[in-house]
Amino acid sequence: MVLAGAAGAGVRVWQLAGRDPLIWTDTADFHASSAAPWTSLELWAGARAAGAPALLKLVGGDDGGYVLWQAVVAVVCWAVLATSVFTVTGRRLRWPAALAVLAFSVTAPVTMWERSVLSESLALSLLALVVAAGLQLACRPSWPRAVGLLGALALWSITRDSNAVVAAAGGTAVVLYAAVSWVRARHRSSAGEPRRRDPVVALGVGSLVLAAAVGWAASHGDRHAFPMRNVYEVRVLPYPDRVQWFADHGMPQADQFTGPGARAPYREEGLPPVVYVADDDATLGEWLDWVESDGRAAFARYVATHPTYLVTEPLRSPERVFNNARGDRGFYAPLDQREVPLVDDVLALPTSVALVAAFVAGGWALGRRRWSPALAVGAVTVALAVPHGVVAWHSDGMETARHLVVPALQLHLGALLMVLGLGSPRTTQVGDDGVGPATPVDVYDAPARVPSSPWPTTPR
């Protein structure tokens, strides 16, 4: 932990020394939210997710102090993850595995956000903390570890609203799996089952409660209004058939967007058409009010009646989004960014490569029916990156390149853990019924009797 922290701190001192904080449009919103009292809903359920404003409030609104402390958070969280990987990996590979995680933490996709007064750096750092806690829980479920993971999830979820999708999807999966396992266990034996599953079930329920709380806070602060307006401007208003559908379902002033007197979309070569509506557009006041009050529900109905939209819309070319740096996340990197040699060439790989690595590692684990904690947690991390990315893309029509930063890095980190998990001698052998994990065994030892229970058990 000390070595990983010192190495991460050294890199960040080298990168940040003598550099000024980067201020963006969102920075002003974070400052405005941070001015609210600690006990007010304006801070915790206001116009912005509470993570960045709370840190700004702690440092007295100083941008330089914010950058410093978000770098400290990054150093600590990534050192915790490197140490967690070290503890769950076999002796032969624990040092290389921890070093790989540490190297990943100083790649440009991670460190490029640490000079910006935004929420991306905090979200990436706390993602590392969540994964670290997940590794410990996967290695040995217990109440303290479940509470630790839920706490890390809570911190991560308040940095960006879309992060709560991971808590919702993961919690749902855990609760459903626990219910199926309980039913199967009741059929196998009438005797009482060990209670080691209880912390994991409680974690699943707690994750659902957490996701609901974040959703309520976002709704209370009307955080959906501006992003939803962006969605309408680029994915609905330029297309008469969609405008007609929404007009039939309550959208007012549809005549402003279709017909002879319709507003002409703004067009730029290689980019999709956009019908821009300003905040203070008096001629479209009724439409603006409707988008804020009913636009989200109407769009949910549209998605429900056009289920392929979720998959086909993100695949359109050109991508239906605006102010997006043409999809290049490198646009947000500081022009004078100092990069660690070699690490990007080895670990900052295209998403297609990460997906192939995840599929190969997952196929190996399924074929051998053996899962190490790193491989299992990596697989869950990759799987949950899918709903995370889908929601992040669909929830806003602007700057999706930036909004997909956290889901994309989540996928890459999960793929890295899956690859590192292939070399771990400590694995969990799947029971003969294929339902789930059984007692941890060492692949270098002859495995003892593997119980058929879908959860870790102890002799009765």
| CA–CA separation, 450 and 131 (whole Å) | 27
Indicate the pTM of the whole model. 0.90
| CA–CA separation, 340 and 445 (whole Å) | 40
| pLDDT higher than 90, residue 404 | yes
CB 344 within 8 A of CB 104: no
Chain centre to alpha carbon of residue 247 = 34
| pLDDT higher than 60, residue 339 | yes
| pLDDT higher than 70, residue 457 | no
Alpha carbon dihedral 73, 136, 106, 18, in 10-degree steps, equals 20
Helices (H) and strands (E) counted in the chain, each on its own, are 21, 3
| CA–CA separation, 309 and 32 (whole Å) | 36
| CA–CA separation, 59 and 73 (whole Å) | 13
What pLDDT does 371 receive?
86
Q: Residue 196's pLDDT band (boundaries 50, 70, 90)?
A: low
For residues 256-271, average pLDDT: 90
Q: Residue 28's pLDDT band (boundaries 50, 70, 90)?
A: very high
What pLDDT does 460 receive?
35
pLDDT digit string, tens, across residues 266-322:
999 999 999 999 988 999 999 999 999 999 999 999 999 999 999 999 999 999 999
Q: What is the DSSP letter of 264?
A: P
What are the structure tokens assigned to 159, written together?
A: 């940095």
Chain centre to alpha carbon of residue 25 = 22
Q: Which of 189-203, 226-240, 437-451 has the lowest mean pLDDT?
A: 437-451
| pLDDT higher than 60, residue 435 | no
Question: Is the preceding peptide bond at 318 cis, omega within 30 degrees of 0?
Answer: yes
Which of 415, 417, 422 minimizes the C-alpha distance to 364? 422
Q: Using a pLDDT cut of 70, give the percent of the chain over it.
A: 90
Q: Residue 197's pLDDT band (boundaries 50, 70, 90)?
A: confident
| CA–CA separation, 352 and 188 (whole Å) | 43
CB 358 within 8 A of CB 378: yes
What pLDDT does 261 receive?
81
CB 256 within 8 A of CB 285: no
Integer-rounded Cα Rg, in Å, for the chain is 24
What are the structure tokens assigned to 362, written together?
A: 């997952």
What pLDDT does 425 receive?
53
What are the structure tokens assigned to 393, written together?
A: 């893309």
For residues 345-360, average pLDDT: 95
pLDDT mean across residues, the chain: 90
- In sequence order, the 6+-apart residues with CB closer than 8 A to the CB of 182 are 193
